[in-house]
Amino acid sequence: MDQPAAVGAAEQPTPAHDLRGVLAITAFRRLWIALTLSSLGDWLGFLATTSLAAVLVRDQGYAAQNFAVAGVLALRLM
């Protein structure tokens, strides 16, 4: 008679959807890198635009700076 296998003795199969498996696909890896760099560029552009808006109205007071930054936020959301 065969002995039953010990519980936990069998190795768990690795899932087919792990990160290494997905990034092993060259086309997907390139797409992922491109999207990452594009997102980084979008955030840097957002910070630069917000900073520029604040600097352009810096002599007009805090209320004008707040409106300028809020305008940048509103336009970026559109």
Residues 71 and 46: their CA atoms lie apart, in Å, by: 12
**Degrees, nearest 5: CA angle 43-45-51:** 105
C-beta contacts of 17-26 below 8 A and 24+ residues apart: none
Residue 8 falls in which region: left (phi positive, over 0), alpha (psi -120 to 50) or beta: left
Give pTM, 2 decimals. 0.63
pLDDT confidence of residue 2: 63
Q: Flag whether pLDDT at 77 surpasses 90.
A: no
Least confident of 13-17, 46-50, 67-71: 13-17
